[in-house]
């Protein structure tokens, strides 16, 4: 089975309220090393076939999963034996 791991991020310049909220908590806890926090989505698609996976992932991202006004995505494919 092949799993596509899709990482969906807010585009640069789009307000990330969740990331800001985490950043403020880090400030309260005196965590100094972290300069910026951005929060995105992780979508894992498990495929039963091995045909045209890239094509299917890109079609799903373009048409359904990603809001192209505000988000951008990247993905990788992983082979999974056990699931």
Q: Which of 13, 15, 35, 79 binds a copy of itself (CB under 8 A)?
A: 35
Shortest spacing between CB 70 and a copy of itself, in angstroms? 15
**Nearest approach, Cβ of residue 19 and a copy of itself (Å):** 8
CA–CA separation, 56 vs 10, rounded Å? 22
Give yes or no for residue 40 binding a copy of itself (CB under 8 A).
Answer: yes
Question: β-strands 71-79, 2-10: how paired?
Answer: antiparallel
- Helix H or strand E encompassing 59: helix 53-60
What is each CA distance from 23 to 11, 13, 14, 28, 32, in whole angstroms?
18, 16, 16, 9, 10
Does 48 sit near a copy of itself (CB under 8 A)?
yes
List residues binding a copy of itself (CB under 8 A): 1, 5, 7-9, 19, 22, 25-26, 29, 31, 33-49, 51-53, 56, 60, 64-65
């Amino acid at each position: 089975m092949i799993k596509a791991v899709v990482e969906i991020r807010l585009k640069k310049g789009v307000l990330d309220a969740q990331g800001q909220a985490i950043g403020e908590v880090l400030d309260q806890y005196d965590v100094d090393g972290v300069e910026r926090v951005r929060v995105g989505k992780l979508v894992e698609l498990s495929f039963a076939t091995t045909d045209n996976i890239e094509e299917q992932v890109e079609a799903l991202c373009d048409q359904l999963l990603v809001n192209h006004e505000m988000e951008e995505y990247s993905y990788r494919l992983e082979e999974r034996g056990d699931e």
